[in-house]
Chain A
Amino acid sequence: MCLAVPGQVLEITERDGTRIAQVDFGGVTKEVCLEYVPDLQVGEYTIVHVGFALQRLDEQSALETLEIFRQMGELDAEFGDHWGRAAEQAGLPRPDQDISTEGGAL
């Protein structure tokens, strides 16, 4: 449930006393009701579900999350997973590798 996608606020207007915005989703624009995120500003990102902004998207947080993902495994390569490295050096499959990621199940 809850298909909601992130978009950027292009402009904000008012209609019938309701705050609405034109939001851009990478080339697709749609009118969105901003009543639930009353302090949202032009240029900010928000998550939109059935024509309503439900929450501001915290860009800093998004970038931090991605950075954490990027760094994952780097520490491993430096310090951890001795068994894995030993196996690799011996030319054997890593003990933790259960399935190959190439080829899938086709």
Chain B
Amino acid sequence: MKYLDEFQDPALAERLLDDIRTTVTRPWAMMEVCGGQTHSIIRHGLDQLLPEGIELIHGPGCPVCVTPLEVIDKALEIAARPDVIFCSFGDMLRVPGSEKDLFRVKSAGGDVRVVYSPLDALNLARENPDRQVVFFGIGFETTAPPNAMTVYQARKLGIENFSLLVSHVRVPPAIEAIMTSPVCRVQAFLAAGHVCTVMGMGEYPGLAERFGVPIVVTGFEPLDILEGIRRSVHQLEEGRHEVENAYPRVVAPDGNPVAIKMLEDVFEVVDRAWRGIGMIPQSGWRLSERYREYDAEERFRVGDIQTQESTVCRSGEVLQGLIKPHECSAFGTLCTPRNPLGATMVSSEGACAAYYLYRRMQVPASGDPREVSSVG
């Protein structure tokens, strides 16, 4: 694929690594914010190639992982209703709620469908006027504009049997929450490149200044990630803490003003709870007053949900970069991708799943390098 494959060139990767190696003089810990970046790092083994002192802490940039348990349970309840066609991105199907997941709802007879785009859900609404079509709108600022446009179109075309179950989260407040945590070890951030494609870079200089951390807007292919790391290392070694754009081919400082305008129209910022982390102020979006009629929670009046998180699960600490997945006692034993206790083991971006899927040999559950869970 053009403009993708070139950024996977191992020879160029070697040059970037060389530069990192010759620049680094002391240990540094940096966090990549986006789950897609985590996935790329672990899938290609990039962290194995870095000089020993450089530690990558995997951040909470997995909207699947941080969707509050309560919202999942609401989704499950709505999806079980006979008049509903419940549409979702594939990522959400296996995320465990308090008792079950969307797959189980489907096998119990719920009409649950995986779609590629929220517009597919809108089309389903058009084609099935006697059913209620609900789209599970999760994601960061990257996915919010597509969801916003879908609701906008629903109103424009007068499609009333469509609604959105919203659970959008925003990155900058999360960075702030991580940096204000007393046990924070993060010294630099690789900011989420596609989030910045939409939102621009305006929210970062303040954070870089306030916390004294370099923030480098970084892409997703191996060369992009290595470049983000390289620039962070240079800043750290030189004692700088600036915002840099290492993904200029799609990130402009102002982002996408058309998309931002739509977001401001369709959504409004609210406080939101992140699964495993807790309430982060002003870190979420909900539909604005003008579009509230398309809000699935309101339309379906889903009652008070009693959530029950696994007591063993330490997703939250993993999400905040406080522990590595294999340091959780349930990793690979009680908790595997086939039987996940928490969302970080389900989503392919979740650090636990990434470790399990790609790194099981080096990070065993019980300390014996040869002992590998024979389940799934």
A54 and B198 contact, Cβ closer than 8 Å, known pairs A1-B36, A2-B143, A26-B1: yes
Cβ contact within 8 Å between A58 and B192: no
B249 and A49: CB pair below 8 A?
Answer: no
> Of B7, B64, B143, which is within 8 A of A49 by CB?
B143
Whether, in the assembled complex, B311 has its beta carbon less than 8 Å from a beta carbon of chain A, the answer is no
Q: Write out the residue numbers on chain B whose beta carbons fall within 8 Å of the beta carbon of A88.
A: none
Interface of chain B residues 140 through 179 with chain A (CB within 8 A): 140, 142-143, 145-146, 149, 153, 156-157
Interface flag for A65 (CB, 8 Å): yes
In contact, A61 and B249 (Cβ under 8 angstroms):
yes
Chain B residue with minimal CB distance to A7?
B1
**B15 and A58 contacting across the interface, CB-CB below 8 Å:** no
A36 pairs with B145, CB closer than 8 A? yes
The docked-state distance in angstroms from the alpha carbon of A1 to that of B36 is 5
Query: In the complex, which residues of chain A have a beta carbon less than 8 angstroms from the beta carbon of B49?
Result: 99, 101
Q: Which of A25, A26, A104 contacts B45 (CB 8 A)?
A: A104
Residue A91 at the chain B interface, CB threshold 8 Å: no
- B340 proximal to A (CB < 8 A): no
Chain B residues, CB < 8 A from A3 = 36
- Interface size band for A: 35 or more
Mark out the residues of chain A between 23 and 63 whose CB falls within 8 Å of any chain B CB in the assembled complex: 25-26, 30, 33, 35-38, 45, 47, 49-52, 54-59, 61-62
| Chain B residue, CB-CB nearest to A97 | B21
A101 and B17 form a contact (CB under 8 A): yes
Q: Is the CB of B250 within 8 A of A33?
A: no
Chain A residues within an 8 Å CB radius of B156: 16-17
Q: Which residues of chain B from 228 to 275 have a CB within 8 Å of any chain A CB? A: 248-252, 256, 258-259, 262
Q: How far is the CB of A5 from chain B (nearest CB, A)?
A: 6
CA distance A62 to B1 in the complex (A): 14
| Contact status B145-A69, CB under 8 Å | no
Nearest chain B CB to A88's CB is how many angstroms away? Answer: 13
For B102, the chain A residues whose CB sits under 8 A away are none
Residues on A with C-beta less than 8 A from B16 are 69, 72
| Given A8-B2, A66-B12, A98-B52, A2 contacting B252 (CB threshold 8 A) | no
| In the bound complex, CA of A7 to CA of B190 (Å) | 25
Size band of the interface chain B makes with A:
35 or more
Residues on A with C-beta less than 8 A from B309 are: none
Q: Does B194 contact A (CB under 8 A)?
A: yes
User: Which residues does chain B contribute within 8 Å of A2, judged by CB atoms?
Assistant: 34, 36, 139-140, 142-143, 192-195, 220
Shortest Cβ gap from B44 to chain A (Å):
11
Partner of B256, one of A16, A25, A36, A58: A36
Q: Would you call B22 an interface residue if the criterion is a C-beta within 8 Å of the partner chain's C-beta atoms?
A: yes
**Residue B62 at the A interface, CB < 8 A?**
yes
Question: A96 on the interface (CB 8 Å rule)?
Answer: yes
Please tell me if B332 contacts chain A, counting CB pairs below 8 Å.
Answer: no
> Closest CB of chain B to A93's CB: distance in Å?
12
B223 touches A50 (CB 8 A): no
Once bound together, how far apart are the Cα atoms of A87 and B63, in whole Å? 48
Please, which residues of chain B bring their CB within 8 A of the CB of A96? 21-22, 51
A56-95 interface (Cβ within 8 A of B) = 56-59, 61-62, 65-66, 69-70, 72-73, 76, 80-81, 84
- A84 near B22 (CB under 8 angstroms)? yes
State the CA gap A84–B223 with chains docked (Å). Answer: 24
Q: Mark B175-210, 1 if CB is under 8 A from A, else 0.
A: 000000000000000001111011000000000000
A76: contacting residue among B18, B35, B48, B62, CB under 8 A: B18
Chain A, Cβ-Cβ closest to B1: A26
Asked whether any CB of chain A lies closer than 8 Å to the CB of B289, the reply is no
Cross-chain contact B22 with A76 (CB below 8 angstroms): yes
Pair A1/B192 contact, Cβ less than 8 Å: yes
Chain B residues, Cβ within 8 Å of A38: 258
B361: A residues at CB distance < 8 A = 105
Nearest CB in chain B: distance from A104 CB, A: 6
A-B contact pairs, 5 of them (CB 8 A): A2-B36, A57-B3, A61-B248, A69-B15, A73-B15
Give me the interface of A with B, judged by CB distance under 8 Å: 1-8, 16-18, 25-26, 30, 33, 35-38, 45, 47, 49-52, 54-59, 61-62, 65-66, 69-70, 72-73, 76, 80-81, 84, 96-99, 101, 104-105
